[in-house]
Structure 1
């Protein structure tokens, strides 16, 4: 049994400082005070979840505390906790089944956020401590790389955003396909751009459009997911982002539906989710979730294209007419 003082020390040693989430510290764009406060609250909630995991003797102990977080931000707490447990799993001492246990408990309802949080940890761990691919879900494992991409863009903004760095032949998962690793990472970078751009749709689009054109689709999609899950914009700003996404709108709508599914399955739907899907998908959040759920591939998976990308394309096809109909 870990003593309370030692657990507190573990929390202090492992948990980053709240100042790392301040927009002024990160050098991110500030649209206005409400958007800044929202994004910084998201960051603080993430770190609170991380700290709960760092200090907990068992995942269930952290879950009790996570359930007390406000519904709008609770998913970010679960994401942070998943990172914390994954970091602890990657240490050379102690237990190595914390993430797995967490994902079987209350983390199961937040499984998308759990996988993304594991990707954050991967960015902080040496490669020989990266997740073992055969214990990850063959459909959702690409969310790990989404989380990795978010982390790199958020904390290494100059390199991954302004210099548009892309890692050559990314080595995880080992069996590939390697080409899709780059795309999954870009989806995470796109989510981070929503934060880096301060939820300002014009600034976010400007950042995306500086990247090579073949990367725009995944970057816009990632930003669309963040616009729906995190929010921070008015209806008019969502309309602006929809217009700026241009030919990439179907995958922006797909990502918005993904965000609705993540919130719906966790019981965390909030008014902003509904507003975002009505603008980006042309329908309420529950209906967007239903389209996402109906398109979900079922195992066994086969073919050269990952099931996750098959899922995305199926959903995007449902929304291909959104721009034309203006729904």
Structure 2
């Protein structure tokens, strides 16, 4: 049971569930067939945030989070990570709640909890960002995948400030994340691409039109976000996913990149829903095991091709995944008589 102070924090800081519905936000996808299903995702984040912001200890939060169904549990962990990040910042940056969560029960959901840290970033002054990412030495994908916090930050901007960051296509101001302010906007665009999937209710034509409105140089990273959201969150039929794949055109490797990241995150959490497996097959011509194998193989490959450190490790990994898809003729994936994933992998 939360303390009086915890209840006060929850009352002041936790958004209402209705505040994240598509109708409340005025999204064009509010009437889409998948809208209610997709809305459950940010609502799961809100629940995780409420539990994290009010709880007395980690044990209590973990018990609550583990009651959430497996398909939604990672999103609830996102919300808890967001709450713990805010609480650590309120403690002057000396709090350890976020680290304890990510190194403990949140470890299987670490890629999503990074995104939750990004949600907190969207609500905290930038001077507090300096110590916002806890030292997770020994944790998989640290520090390589901490760029997902930037992704989460930009997703939040697009979701809650849609006119500015989607309609007007404002570029988030650079920040020297991992010492790379030049790369910051690119990581942001993947998050904005993910948001486009939700904002447009997973309607393929609407999502593709939204991406097409952005400058050409931003579209590749937007498509990687679309692929990630379509695979992790779902919401589209096989035909709809095929339409997304066709719309990506020459950016299909970017779409495949998002698929691999999403399937790896789902597999790491121990639950790959049917819609994620379907998206992997239709968008990328891959089985779940093949997608995980690509993620593991490319992550383990040598980083010696950039000894000067000019390219963030995150982008090096993304490049290697894209290279896999760049070697595959798109016709092998779009053909109605699609070959099995084994043949695609060897193409």
Q: TM-score band, normalised by the shorter chain?
A: over 0.9
For the residues of structure 1 that align with 2:243 and 2:35, how far apart are their CA atoms? 19
Contact kept in structure 1, 2:144 and 2:314, CA below 8 Å: yes
Query: 5 Å matches for 1:168-183?
Result: 168=173, 170-173=174-177, 175-176=179-180, 178-183=181-186
Q: Give the match for residue 135 of structure 2.
A: 135
Contact kept in structure 1, 2:32 and 2:201, CA below 8 Å: no
Structure 1 stretch displaced more, 281-290 or 251-260: 281-290
Give 3-state SS (helix, strand or coil) of 1:199's partner.
coil
Structure 1 stretch displaced more, 191-200 or 95-104: 95-104
Q: Give the match for residue 318 of structure 2.
A: 312
Aligned residue pair count? 324
For the residues of structure 1 that align with 2:242 and 2:292, how far apart are their CA atoms? 20
For the residues of structure 1 that align with 2:164 and 2:2, how far apart are their CA atoms? 41
Contact kept in structure 2, 1:264 and 1:286, CA below 8 Å: no
Q: Give the match for residue 193 of structure 2.
A: 190
For the residues of structure 2 that align with 1:172 and 1:315, how far apart are their CA atoms? 25
Query: 5 Å matches for 1:1-327?
Result: 4-30=3-29, 32=31, 34-92=33-91, 96-132=95-131, 135=135, 137-168=142-173, 170-173=174-177, 175-176=179-180, 178-297=181-300, 302=307, 303-320=309-326, 321=328, 323-326=330-333, 327=338
Contact kept in structure 1, 2:3 and 2:55, CA below 8 Å: no
Give 3-state SS (helix, strand or coil) of 1:69's partner.
coil
Return closer, same or farther for 1:215/1:145 CA change in 2, 3 Å cut-off.
same
What RMSD in Å do the two structures reach over aligned CA positions? 2.0
For the residues of structure 1 that align with 2:120 and 2:114, how far apart are their CA atoms? 10
Give 3-state SS (helix, strand or coil) of 2:145's partner.
coil
Return closer, same or farther for 1:75/1:195 CA change in 2, 3 Å cut-off.
same
Contact kept in structure 2, 1:88 and 1:95, CA below 8 Å: no
Contact kept in structure 2, 1:297 and 1:310, CA below 8 Å: no
Cα drift, residue 57 of structure 1? 1.8
TM-score by length of 2: 0.88
1:202-260 deviations in Å (ceiling 9; x for gaps)? 10111111110000000011011000000001000000000000111111111111100
Return closer, same or farther for 1:141/1:64 CA change in 2, 3 Å cut-off.
same
For the residues of structure 2 that align with 1:60 and 1:273, how far apart are their CA atoms? 30
* Unmatched runs of 5 consecutive residues or more in structure 2: 137-141, 339-347
